[in-house]
Structure 1
Amino acid sequence: MRPTTAWQAMAQRPLSFLTSSWPWRSLAYLTGGVVVGAAAVLVFAAGLAAGLALLVVLIGVAPLVGLVLASTVVASVERRRLRLVDLDHLPDPHGRPDAPGPKSWVATRLKEPVTWRELLFTLVSAAALWWLDLLVLGFSFGLPAVTFASLDGETWPWTVFGALVLLASPYTVTSWAGARAAMARTFLAPRDRELGAELREVRASQSRLLDSFDAERVRIERDLHDGAQQRLVSLGLTLAMLRLDTPEGTPQSELLTQAEGQLSSAHQELRALIRGLNPPVLADHGLVAAVEDYAGRFPIPVTVDLRLPERLPRKLETTMYYVINEAMTNIARHSGATTAAVRGRYHADLLIFDITDDGRGGVDPGAGSGVTGLADRVRALDGRMRVSSPVGGPTLLHVEVPCRFA
């Protein structure tokens, strides 16, 4: 699968990463960060000085307001620059002014929470981020240049060190670019309350659809248990009564033996289906126990490492179980893997799951694979799912879902 972020790109095989455009995109992102940050410092310093100097006569309010609005320009530029190292589109959360004209535009912007987050991001960027960009670039390229320029018989160890730093620069630059982009997305991504009414309704309908799927699954499980399974039990009793009147060794007895074997297989398959639809261990003991139980019956060895502080909310627990269940089913059917692993952690109101296997890789969600359905389930919980699956493997499915315990 084609990576969509700088960090995903680094997870590829070294040769694939080094020959890709991601190191160059990361270099362009950090270089642009230095330019934008330095310009922001100059503009803010000049505006702040003018505003404070004129504040005594109340004229200084205008430059200070101008600085707040200038931060929206910096944020807009940053959203465009993010496409260099994060291909996921980051929408502009600003709303349209209620009326035409600059006065309405300014009033609307000053009322929006995102404007003040953008101001905070601009201050952080001007005070620290662009300095860090410059430091990373200086260490990755400036230090090797200095050691090469001073090459002589006595300083050759430093030259070797500079060469090693230069060789590692694609990873140094890309790792910081990925971290910087993640920080920028935290500041600049729209919050739910800033989304339009139509988009909020879409998310609400996704949640209702997920609830209806869960309710339908429980109904089907109940109908199979109380209906089809009971009929199979009754059929088994009928065959047992018929065997009492059938002599051993006759053709009819052999047919009864075959029918009983087929009935037993159908009963086992139905029980497995019912257990998969609504596993009792999930309802009784939670996600960790349910995943461990499923892994114990998996056709290949699975390492389960789930560390959660407590039981998850019911809808989240059920959804994540079926995401993990389906991901592992795909591994068994299509990957050719010999081992797999499920790892889960809870950190800072975020559930993080990694499902890996050592199979042949080459998973492409864009080709209509089962991964698409998993991503839809995760998005219905306001989560994100990423897949790294280079041809030849390994495959990593990374899921992040918001979660707050009461």
Structure 2
Amino acid sequence: MSTLVKEDLFENLLESAPANFTEARQTAKDLYLKLGLPAPKEEEYKFTGITKKLEKSLSNFNQAKPLSVEENLIKESVFQGFEGDVLVFSNGKFLQEVSSTIEGLEVSDILSSSAEIGSIAKAEKDAFAALNQASFSGGISIKVPKKTKVEKPILLLSFNGANDGQVITPRFWIEVGDFSEVTFLDQSISMGEEAYFVNKVVEIKGGLNSHINYYRLQNESNQAIEVSNIETDIQSDARFTSVNISLSGDMVRNNLSLNLLGSNSEGNMYGIYLLNGKTHVDNHTNVDHTIPHAESNEMYKGIFDAQSRGVFNGKIFVRQDAQKTNAFQQNNNVLLSDDAIVNTKPQLEIWADDVKCSHGCTVGQLDEEALFYLQARGIGKVQAKGLLLYAFAGEVMEKIEEESFKNHVVGLIQDRLGSKF
């Protein structure tokens, strides 16, 4: 526990919380005040000094008010080629009046919904999850009925920026019925360069034989600080795939947890973090195998330039009853600068004996022989370097099934790497 008096730091935020989900909020508040924000030597935040960063960067710990978002801005912010529905948020508040109406789905403001707050993303797991549950003032509840195939992707488009306060606390509840399919694209856009803190929680409840894709793009301003807790329950014969792309920000912490609760369930976690400047990104993942005959696949790749810093901590738990489990985890990193740093720690804890599990990590630099080979064939050094790095990142990009989003992300990465012809 931190030695700081945390109720002083977020006292106004807690006191101004909306008067709903009272029991869940009080439980979370008690837990938050017990846990405190992470201390400098706390193991789970050992390489990410988020508490110090918040104290240094923020001056107003009040809830940020919604920003004005015009329809023209929304149109300009939707990436080229996208054909789907758009749900818009301003500092965490759902803007229904400028959002798509999606037929067949139950979509409502989180504050007026019947969401099962805290039933999946447990407040006791993380102080920031507890803080969000105690103080969230906006977000959305999305329920996909049974046997529904949502043909078009759903873009969750968030506009963030300091506005009479620097704390943003969105809460998403997503419930996908049995035998249903849906793809979500989660993208945030910074409105201005002033520092702000996003403390986000996403709870995803996947039914039997459901197929859910959740793709996320983090490309906000260099002053943005973010902690996200995304947790998913996956039932029998269901498949969940997450792809997280982190390109910018000041300090970003991503907590992603998959709970495999049924046989023949499949959980996939992929990520690419392409960092420069002093950007710091920390990916903490957790896969919990509780039932026999389930599979998980995890692959995260990092590219670091300048004074950027990355952290990867991936945990796979295979419970005693989870025989016939297949679990695979890999983390690969390339350092382009002597000042860049990555800390990586893949972990396996296995209590079952009939399983196939593997994990590993690599940290290195570009292959000089491959670079020379490309240059010898008339490709400039900068572009040759970019091509090699894109080939390294491309394995993650191939996991994105939504073509317009994939093309958008590929363009951003190629621009950053200088790998376009």
Could you say which TM-score interval applies, normalised by the shorter chain? under 0.3
Structure number having the greater helix percentage: 1
Does 1 or 2 have the higher relative contact order (CA < 8 Å, sep 6+)?
1
Q: Which has the larger radius of gyration?
A: 1
The TM-score with structure 1 as length reference comes to 0.20
